[in-house]
Amino acid sequence: MGLQQQVMEQMKTAMKSKDSVALESLRAIKSALLLAQTESGAGGSLSEADEIKLVQKLVKQRKDSASIYTEQGRIDLAEPELAQAAIIEQFLPEQLTEEEIEKVVIQTIDTTGASGMKDMGKVMGIVSKELAGQADGKTISTIVKNRLS
């Protein structure tokens, strides 16, 4: 079952249970999918990798908004953003732990022979591609920086 069908099924459930936060989150996913499909060059369909990137982007937007609201002392606005992020994350593959990410980073550094910060882009590219959808780019970046510095 594709992402769009999963979202539609969840929307029906959310409507029946009158869960407005879930419904709003699911509508955001549906909207983003439709926009991406109708973009020029998309050809009317998205690959699974593109769908994962899109969902990751939606989660990141909500988490970024929540952190800004929290910094400004607006917990009342941060909580709905975090609730939406949690609902949207359900459509992502299982996320790896930092230890698992670190193993992949160490293996990649050994394989490429990276020796300093000048090689960070090369390592980031390989690791990001390998862990697409399973790890946050910010976490990968932090681990790579720690290992190369």
Count each helix (H run) and each strand (E run) in the chain, helices first.
7, 0
Is residue 40 very low, low, confident or very high in pLDDT (cuts 50, 70, 90)?
low
93: phi > 0 → left, psi -120 to 50 → alpha, else beta; which?
Answer: beta
Pick the closest to residue 142 from 98, 104, 108 (CA basis).
98
Q: CA–CA separation, 22 vs 96, rounded Å? A: 24
Q: CA–CA separation, 30 vs 142, rounded Å? A: 32
Taking only the tens place, the pLDDT of each residue in 53-91 is 888 889 989 999 999 999 999 999 999 999 999 999 888
pTM above 0.85, yes or no: no
Contact 62, 54 (CB under 8 A): no
Average of per-residue pLDDT values in the chain: 86
Q: CA–CA separation, 40 vs 63, rounded Å? A: 29
pLDDT at 43 (0 to 100):
67
Which residue intervals of 47-97 are DSSP H helices? 48-71, 75-89
CA atoms within 13 A on the CB side of 64: 8
